[in-house]
Amino acid sequence: MSSKVRVRFAPSPTGHLHIGGARTALFNWLFARHNKGVFILRIEDTDRSRSTEEYIEAIIEGMKWLGLDWDEGPYRQTDRLEIYKSYVNKLLKEDNAYYCYCSPEELEERRRLALAQGKPPKYDGRCRGLKEPVPGRIPAVRFKMPQVGITVVDDLIRGKVSFDNEQLDDFIIMRSDGTPTYNFCVVVDDVDMRITHVIRGDDHLNNTPKQIQIYRALNYEIPKFAHLPMILGSDKTRLSKRHGATSVMAYKEMGYLPEALLNYLVRLGWSYKDQEIFSKEELIEKFNIENIGKSAAVFNPEKLLWLNSHYINASTPERLYELVRPFLIKEGIIKEDTQIDIQWVSKAIATLKERSRTLVELANSLRYYILEDIEIEQEARQKFINEKTIGYLRRVRELLSSMDGFESKALEEAFKKLISELGVKLSEVAQPLRVAITGKTVSPPIFDVLSVLGKERTLRRLDRVIKTS
């Protein structure tokens, strides 16, 4: 019998939760949920100069927005310094690690030199055999890598990957200030937290042999590894700010739904036959590591946008109102304390959701429903408002003011009669009317708009155009 699956997402708080990190988190989360295992959030903040509280908050905020809930943590490595220290001492005592008195400047110089000579910038191991401390220097601690043989990483996605130990150098596991480094504490933590599967970005594959050697030195069982392919920008280099928004929360602000981003991210590197749309439940049911691809994927904002429109269209108007409200406030369409009748606004949103790709678009389209005074676009007026169409609008006004109900069905019937009386096509009346009541040449079906707006406001807008023209 196999022990319970335990996985973790271990971001370093040196920036916001970004697209790549979010996908790593998602895959870990899905793997845990699929296997009824445990998902752990661990903050890797040993680099104190670059880690901040704000970024920890930002990462948590991003995880919460995406709905990636964790079962343990967030653990913080800075809370666990004593644990690492004891393991360093153990390695030191067992002669698997040693003090290194080289200064960062010296190391940097040697590295530069090696690179210039076209040699691998590998630590030369000069402190390895040192018997006495070097006075006046505070040492770092290095791990003693085996210098012969090979280390094999058995990866769930890549298969067996071999590294010549000769290529690996004695890396620093504890800085001279006493803080441990990544390649060391990641192992200690994964062991301590009984992680069964390490699912992380491809960029860590080269670190894995080093980590495996630490496992061995500590005499611990090695977890399963799964290295995910990278996410690239449109120019096929590592996704970065140059390629546009990379932070998860930036997508929230641009009016994306979390399920759209999640659905997009999961298909970057993972597939299930021809299926494109997945609910969260479906993903949990269907996710597996076998179907993760090996090659890097280019991030494609167009497809994300398509998914977003799909999910907006699939949402109920009631939910969309809740989601769009902050955007209405931000766009200055309503105030924080503005109360809107939920039934009415739902009806309005129902007419717009299939033509909105983001919540920002939805908010802006809602403008002419919510605001009392609308602005008529200059071009629209020029094209559709003239003596002839004003005449039509007068007839429309007459017709509408005589109507009791304002349901789109009834309106449509009445308009059919009107246009046959006028002997024109519907579009000849509908477009001027659309411009008069929405200010634009584009809107949901005109009868739906009238119905949402109601008789009183429709007549007011009509009068304004008829009188001022």
Partner RNA sequence: GGUCCCAUCGUCUAGAGGCCUAGGACGUAGCCCUCUCAAGGCUAAAACACGGGUUCGAAUCCCGUUGGGACCGCCA
Q: What is the C-alpha end-to-end distance of the chain, expressed in Å?
A: 82
Among 78, 315, 346, 441, binds RNA (CB under 7 A): 441
Nearer to RNA, 303 or 394 (CB): 303
3-state DSSP assignment of residue 82: helix
Q: How far is the CB of 204 from RNA (least distance, A)?
A: 6
Residues 400-429 that bind RNA (CB under 7 A): 412, 425-427
Q: Name the DSSP class of 403.
A: -
- Enumerate residues 118-157 that contact RNA by CB under 7 A: 118-123, 139-140
**With binding defined as CB under 7 A, does residue 446 bind RNA?**
yes
Candidates 88, 97, 73; CA nearest to 185 is: 88
300 contacts RNA (rule: CB under 7 A)? yes
Near RNA in 41-70, by CB under 7 A: 44, 46-47, 50
Instruction: Find the DSSP H helices in 203-354.
Output: 208-218, 248-253, 258-266, 280-286, 301-314, 317-330, 342-352
Interaction between residue 237 and RNA (CB under 7 A): yes
Under the criterion CB under 7 A, does residue 181 sit at the interface with RNA?
A: yes
- The residues with which 179 forms a beta bridge, in sequence order, are none
Stretch that binds RNA, among 82-90, 178-186, 217-225, 383-391 (CB under 7 A): 178-186
Q: Stretches 60-68, 249-257, 390-398, 442-450: which one binds RNA (CB under 7 A)?
A: 442-450
Measured from the CB atom, the residue of 181 and 389 that comes closer to RNA is 181
Joined together, the tokens standing for residue 85 give: 């220290």
Which of residues 12, 196, 213, 358 is near RNA by CB under 7 A?
12
Footprint on residues 310-329 left by RNA (CB under 7 A): 310, 313
Q: Which long-range contacts (CB under 8 A, 24 or more apart) does 396-401 make?
A: 396/429, 396/433, 396/462, 397/459, 397/462, 397/463, 397/466, 400/450, 400/455, 400/458, 400/459, 400/462, 401/455, 401/459
Q: Which of 4, 64, 119, 241 is catalytic?
A: 241
* 98 lies in the binding site for RNA (CB under 7 A): no
Whole-number Cα distances in Å, 75 to 28, 67, 89, 303, 324: 16, 19, 23, 35, 34
Nearest approach, Cβ of 337 to RNA (angstroms)? 32
Counting contacts by CB under 7 A, is residue 76 touching RNA?
no
**Dihedral angle at the C-alpha atoms of 154, 226, 229, 282, nearest 10 degrees?**
140
Closest to RNA by CB, 310 or 334: 310
Q: Note whether 247 binds RNA by CB under 7 A.
A: no
The question of whether 241 is a catalytic residue gets the answer: yes
Q: Which two tokens stand for residue 42?
A: 């661990």
* Least Cβ distance, residue 392 to RNA (angstroms): 13
Question: Measuring CA to CA, which residue among 222, 194, 283 is closest to residue 6?
Answer: 194
Q: Name which position in 37, 269, 432, 439 contacts RNA (CB under 7 A).
A: 269
Among 78, 96, 165, 206, binds RNA (CB under 7 A): 206
Position 261 contacts RNA (CB under 7 A): no
Q: What minimum distance in Å lies between the beta carbon of 66 and RNA? A: 18
Quick check: 248 binds RNA (CB under 7 A)?
no
What mask of x and - would describe binding to RNA in positions 361 to 400, judged by CB under 7 A? ----------------------------------------
DSSP structure string for 31-68 = HHHHTT-EEEEEE----TTT--HHHHHHHHHHHHHHT-
Q: Does 358 bind RNA (CB under 7 A)?
A: no
How many angstroms separate the most distant Cα atoms in the chain?
107
* Burial class of residue 315 (count of CB atoms within 10 Å of its CB; 0-12, 13-18, 19+): middle
- For residue 336, the minimal CB distance to RNA (Å) is 30
What secondary structure letter does DSSP report for 4? P
Size of the site for RNA (CB under 7 A): 92
Reduce the secondary structure of 151-188 to three states and give it as a string.
EEEEECCCEEEEEEHHHCCCCEEECCCCCECHHHHHHH
Q: Which residue among 36, 273, 335, 467 contacts RNA (CB under 7 A)? A: 273
Catalytic residue numbers, as ranges = 241
